[in-house]
Amino acid sequence: MTLLDVQDLTITLATAEGPARAVRDLSFSLERGETLGIVGESGCGKSMTALALMSLLPERSNTEGKILLESEDLLRFSEKDLCNIRGNRMAMIFQEPMTSLNPVHTIGHQVMEPLRLHKGLDKDAAHAEALRLLDRVGIPNPKARIRNYPHQLSGGQRQRVMIALALSCGPDILIADEPTTALDVTIQDQILELIQNLVSEDGMALILISHDLGVISENTDKVLVMYGGSAVETGRTDKIFGELTHPYTLGLFAAMPKLGMGRNARLATIPGVVPDLMNLPAGCTFFDRCPLASDHCRDASPPVHVLNPDHAVACHNIDDARGKKSEELYL
Amino acid sequence: MSIFIAKRLLTLIATLIGASMVIFLVMEILPGDPALVILGVEATDEMVAALTKELGLDRPAPERYWTWISGLLQGEMGTSYAYKVPVWELVEGALWITIPLAIMSIILSIILALIIGLYAAAHHNKAGDVALMGFSQLGISVPNFWLALLLILLFSIQLRWFPAGGFPGWNEGFFVCIVALLLPAISLATVVGAILARITRSSVLEVYREDYVRTARSKGLSQRATLWLHVLRNALIPVLTVTGIQFSALLTGTVVVENVFHIPGLGSLVLKAINNRDTIVVENVVLLLATMVIMTNFVVDILYAVVDPRLKAHDI
Ligand SMILES: Nc1ncnc2c1ncn2[C@@H]1O[C@H](COP(=O)(O)OP(=O)(O)OP(=O)(O)O)[C@@H](O)[C@H]1O
Ligand SMILES: [Mg+2]
């Protein structure tokens, strides 16, 4: 049975200026132990997708479609049942380690909380388990650290605590929303490696969100490239990186620093800015920034071309795009 | 923690010294000669001079200030010019009325604030929230003496549930005294409670937007559990600050409200003493009120560090 099957997920946020379509007709699935990467520029709806999976979207929002966790639609769950899923079968690590822990509780208390809630552990058992978890995520001297408050820890250590907290109940799915974006580059790799190791040791499925194509290519089995709230390119990681096709994915690739690149080499950029969610174009959302755009791109949403069973691209000018190198499209 | 307390204690002493100087200076500048007021209009110049000398008022101001302060350090408040009894005797009885009144008022206002503030935050922008915030705006705008008069009219004169004023004295029984203080306490608590309710509401709403609240929800805690376990303690920090600040407003309020209800507390005492130009009583009572305010803020500072662990780290 597919562990997680998301079908036609559409998220509309109520804003002061009117409804904003943050995510549109997004579909993807995840098997046990599999790692899915979601990649895209800032504001393309990655966090909204993650929060929708956890049913933690802002109150003034509307979610359509289906989020099937082992065939049960989470969107039909009662709040009480969702509380039994969150932190227990599905857990999340957030983008901002500095502010994601409660400043008035010790880290021990915060790691113990889900254990007591979902596993029904008593205080002593939860304490012992929290010590084990803190040790596992590489917090030095957990016996002393367990009594620390978040402000006494560095950003990297706080993210480790968040990981301990998220893994505490052995969830089936871990969602890591840009877990390293806010951290020092030297720590980023350590944290990613830690997540990878823990996930594979426990056989968990991972949804890794990033705006860094490099991180995604190294750490995932499957990829979902998002732009303006929808999927533009999906498939198995090796297949996609073997043949990057969508003009947007090529743009992300062109904008990525590469090995052997000179220190002063200029990185290419995708011209323009992400679309305004209030007035999304009728056709392709990438239309106004796309080097291959033609007139019908503006008017009709792009068809999905299945290049092979493990690689699909949503683009009108697929024939143009195939075989193009990123440096041919972006300078 | 001990450094934290020691530092606060030093500030407290410095503030008290400053306050005593200001109070003394103000009383010096205030027009009206105590000897003249005591002796009345028919007094001769010689009689006034003799009394002035007897009261020690002919000596230079710095000397008199020092006599007052050194007396206080030895536990002596001096002797009332008007009543010729030790000031402490006048103060003691009044203190046992004003302190319970202030405590009752502050407890009432905190209870009021938490109930209203939490309810309003939980029903953000719904009818209940809008109505309560409207009432609280009204509560803030109503002067406490006017509210006191309204309460007397309604509960004492119309309904006859409460005495219209006066204080039986503690030896008449605890309950009757509390009843006698209830209307004054309500008139004092309304304004402070309304202010604190608004702070509680906005603080809770603000904390709800924090990332760690989302983390708490992602663990599987229910809305309610999140409110009690993660939101409330953080939200109380600004409420605590404002409570400390409002306490001084509340004490000032007692001066007015005690007079409306004819309650012989510090407020009534100080007003009478000012009329009598009983300078030494005024100075001591005002300094006492100032001490109470400063002590409250001292306690608030310590509570602060108890609620917010980040403060302990920054206290050096
Ligand atoms: N509370 C909100 N109300 C209205 N719009 C919002 C809200 N939060 C986010 N948005 C909008 O929804 C869109 C998607 O946001 P989201 O946070 O999912 O982006 P993201 O892909 O995670 O970006 P980043 O890489 O910066 O984290 C953005 O355009 C953002 O402006
Ligand atoms: Mg995000």
Residue B204: what pLDDT?
A: 95
> Is residue B35 predicted with pLDDT exceeding 90?
no
Given a contact cutoff of 8 angstroms between Cβ atoms, the answer to whether B225 and A86 are in contact is no
Residue A38: name the closest of A85, A92, A80, A75 by CA. A92
Let me know whether B215 and B244 are in one domain.
yes
- What whole-number distance in Å separates Cα of residue B110 and Cα of residue B117? 10
Q: Residue A322 sits in a domain of what CATH number?
A: 3.40.50.300
Structural tokens at position B85: 């009894």
Let me know whether B54 and B190 are in one domain.
no
For residue A328, count CB atoms less than 10 angstroms from its CB and return exposed for 0-12, middle for 13-18, buried for 19 or more: exposed
Let me know whether B171 and B248 are in one domain.
yes
Least confident of A120-134, A217-231, B34-48, B272-286: B34-48
> Is residue A174 predicted with pLDDT exceeding 50?
yes
Least confident of A86-100, A273-287, B204-218, B252-266: A273-287
Is A138 within a domain?
no
Is A266 within a domain?
yes
Domain count, chain B: 2
CB proximity B137 to A under 8 Å? no
> Is residue A32 predicted with pLDDT exceeding 50?
yes
Of A96, A117, A152, the CB nearest to B219: A117
Let me know whether B124 and B96 are in one domain.
yes
> Is residue B20 predicted with pLDDT exceeding 80?
yes
Residue A92: what pLDDT?
A: 97
> Is residue A23 predicted with pLDDT exceeding 60?
yes
Determine how β-strand A90-93 pairs with β-strand A72-73.
unpaired
B92 CB-side CA count, 13 A = 8
Higher local confidence (pLDDT), B155 or B121: B121
Confidence of residue B38 (pLDDT cuts 50, 70, 90): confident
Protein residue with its CA nearest to atom 6 in ligand 1 = A13
Mean residue pLDDT across chain B: 88
Q: What percent of chain A has pLDDT over 70?
A: 98
Is B281 within a domain?
yes
Q: Residue B98 sits in a domain of what CATH number?
A: 1.10.3720.10
Is A158 within a domain?
no
Higher local confidence (pLDDT), B37 or B224: B224
What number is the ipTM of this complex?
A: 0.91
Report A:88-117 residues touching B (Cβ under 8 A).
Answer: 88, 91-92, 94, 96, 99-105, 110, 113-114, 117
Is A126 within a domain?
no
User: Model pTM?
Assistant: 0.84
Tokens 């009843």 — which residue?
Answer: B179
Distance from CA of B124 to the nearest CA of A (A): 12
Is B188 within a domain?
yes
Given a contact cutoff of 8 angstroms between Cβ atoms, the answer to whether B148 and B257 are in contact is yes
Pocket of ligand 1 from Cβ distances under 6 Å: A 13, 15, 20, 22, 40, 42-48, 58, 95, 178, 211, 277
Of A86, A102, A103, the CB nearest to B220: A86
> Is residue A316 predicted with pLDDT exceeding 80?
yes
| CB contacts, 8 Å: B310 with chain A | 103, 149, 151
CB proximity B206 to A under 8 Å? no
Residue B314: what pLDDT?
A: 54
Distance from CA of A74 to the nearest CA of B (A): 14
Let me know whether B305 and B159 are in one domain.
yes
Let me know whether B60 and B92 are in one domain.
no
Of A56, A88, A99, the CB nearest to B210: A99
User: What is the end-to-end Cα distance of chain A in Å, rounded?
Assistant: 45
Q: Phi-psi region for residue A56, left (φ > 0), alpha (ψ -120 to 50) or beta?
A: alpha
Given a contact cutoff of 8 angstroms between Cβ atoms, the answer to whether B298 and B12 are in contact is yes
Protein residue with its CA nearest to atom 27 in ligand 1 = A42
- Please, what's the largest Cα pairwise distance for chain B? 85
Higher local confidence (pLDDT), B207 or B241: B207
* Helices B232-261, B87-122: inter-axial angle, 10-degree rounding: 130
> Is residue A311 predicted with pLDDT exceeding 80?
yes
> Is residue A3 predicted with pLDDT exceeding 90?
yes
Residue B176: name the closest of B167, B165, B189 by CA. B167
Mean pLDDT value across residues A116-135: 96
Structural tokens at position A70: 């082992």
Let me know whether B43 and B135 are in one domain.
no
Structural tokens at position A152: 């006494």
Given a contact cutoff of 8 angstroms between Cβ atoms, the answer to whether B170 and B96 are in contact is yes
Nearest CA in chain B to A109: B229
> Is residue B118 predicted with pLDDT exceeding 50?
yes
| H helix count then E strand count, chain A | 13, 12
Q: Phi-psi region for residue A141, left (φ > 0), alpha (ψ -120 to 50) or beta?
A: left
Single-letter amino acid code for the residue at B288? L
Report B:210-239 residues touching A (Cβ under 8 A).
Answer: 210-212, 214-223, 229-230, 233-234
| CB contacts, 8 Å: B308 with chain A | 103-104
Residue A230: name the closest of A282, A272, A284, A290 by CA. A284
> Is residue B300 predicted with pLDDT exceeding 90?
no
Residue A274: what pLDDT?
A: 82
Given a contact cutoff of 8 angstroms between Cβ atoms, the answer to whether A284 and A293 are in contact is yes
- What whole-number distance in Å separates Cα of residue B180 and Cα of residue B166? 7
> Is residue B178 predicted with pLDDT exceeding 70?
yes
Is B82 within a domain?
no
Residue B1: what pLDDT?
A: 63
Mean pLDDT value across residues B134-156: 86
> Is residue B2 predicted with pLDDT exceeding 80?
no
Mean pLDDT value across residues B18-29: 91
Let me know whether B208 and B297 are in one domain.
yes
Task: Output phi, psi for A288, to 5 deg.
Answer: -70, -10
Which atom belonging to ligand 1 lies closest to the Cα atom of A48?
Answer: 18
Looking at the CA of A274, name the nearest ligand: 1
Is A294 within a domain?
yes
Domain count, chain A: 1
Looking at the CA of A42, name the nearest ligand: 1
Q: Which of B38, B73, B108 is the last residue of a domain?
A: B73
* Domain extent at residue B198: 87-315
Residue B312: what pLDDT?
A: 66
Let me know whether B66 and B103 are in one domain.
no
* Domain extent at residue A237: 4-89+171-330
> Is residue A204 predicted with pLDDT exceeding 50?
yes
> Is residue A273 predicted with pLDDT exceeding 70?
yes
Determine how β-strand A61-69 pairs with β-strand A4-15.
antiparallel
Of A96, A114, A149, the CB nearest to B211: A96
DSSP state of A121: -
Confidence of residue A122 (pLDDT cuts 50, 70, 90): very high
Least confident of B112-126, B166-180, B238-252: B166-180
Residue B316: what pLDDT?
A: 38
Residue B313: what pLDDT?
A: 55
Is B278 within a domain?
yes
B87-114 pLDDT, tens digit each: 999 999 899 999 999 999 999 999 999 9
> Is residue A59 predicted with pLDDT exceeding 80?
yes
B152-165 pLDDT, tens digit each: 888 888 888 877 77
- Taking the centre of ligand 2 as the mean of its atom positions, its distance from the CA of residue A4, in whole angstroms, is 21
Question: CA dihedral defined by B202, B206, B208, B210, rounded to 10 degrees?
Answer: -170
Distance from CA of A86 to the nearest CA of B (A): 5
- What whole-number distance in Å separates Cα of residue B102 and Cα of residue A169? 49
Let me know whether B50 and B188 are in one domain.
no
Let me know whether B155 and B256 are in one domain.
yes
Let me know whether B186 and B94 are in one domain.
yes
